[in-house]
Amino acid sequence: METPRKITSVSSLLAHALIVPIWLLVFYLLYEPAWAMNWLDMGEGKSTFNLLIIMCIVFGVLSLSRIIMRAYRKWIPLTWLRYIVWYACEWLSMSLFVGMYMALMYRGEYPYFEAVGHSAVLIFASTIYPYLVINLLYTAIGISEEPKDADDDLIRFYDNTQRLKLVIAANAIQYIQADENYVIIRYIEAERVKEYTLRNSMKSLEELMQQHGIVRCQRSYYVNPQHVKVLRRDKEGMIVAELDHPDLKPIRVSPKYYELLSARL
């Protein structure tokens, strides 16, 4: 199941990058757990200074990670499983950098991997709460902002900046064609062929198309099997899909995708 788009919005990015490190600092200064403060103090009264440095490390890792996440989602759907794995990688990255910093501060008196272990516990204990609250909040906002419709067969098309551009019934779509950095969606409305040009890639639409039974028939085309009348060979001996609307020309089918399409007819 894909996460709501709001999870990777700019406001969510800023919330993670700012609130999580600030909460870490406040948490340890307010509660002062002995197991953490003794380690951070280093016997020299440096706990507050070290917490400030750790806060900066957390801010840097989260800022970079969330920017990469936004770019990643443009090409690959961000499921909840992938999101949880991403959080685990963020936590591990923060632990490695904080462990490196503390090991250097101890000037070799504290083994690096032991410092990483302490860092992992310290960061998990203080970041899990804001992570949960922020993600629950943005999940709720994202769900509430999703277009409401009783028909579950609607397809929602987003552009490469994750903005909703087109909502259409899956059975209205005839085919989707690649056009450099865009895709052209051809569909039927009031018995007429219409088209919508969307800035996105064929790759980013692949999972969405699979969910609604629209299949690839060649590298640059997705076709809706519901509207394919017949598969036949043209004068050049190429396999083509003839569509059920008279205003649409046949679409060539590559041998690679022939069996998949024919199985859906």
Q: What is the pLDDT of residues 129-146, one digit of tens each?
A: 999 999 999 888 877 765
Closest CA to 127 of 176, 225, 60, 58: 58
pLDDT in tens, 21-37: 999 999 999 988 898 89
pLDDT, residue 147, reads: 52
Helix ranges, 146-186 (H):
none
259, pLDDT greater than 70: yes
Residue 70, judged by CB atoms within 10 A of its CB (0-12, 13-18, 19+), counts as middle
125, pLDDT greater than 80: yes
Cβ-proximal residues to 186 (8 Å cutoff; 6+ apart), any chain: 173, 174, 175, 176, 177, 193, 194, 195, 248
Go through the domains of the chain in sequence order and give each one's CATH number. 5-145 (no CATH), 154-264 (2.40.50.1020)
Phi-psi region of 70 (alpha: psi -120 to 50; beta: other; left: phi over 0): alpha
pLDDT, residue 194, reads: 94
213, pLDDT greater than 60: yes
Question: Is the CB of residue 172 less than 8 Å from the CB of residue 188?
Answer: yes
pLDDT, residue 2, reads: 78
Handedness of CA 205, 1, 155, 265 (dihedral sign): positive
> Which of 160 and 150 is assigned the larger pLDDT?
160
19, pLDDT greater than 90: yes
Task: Compute the distance between CA of residue 233 and CA of residue 252 in angstroms, rounded to an integer.
Answer: 9
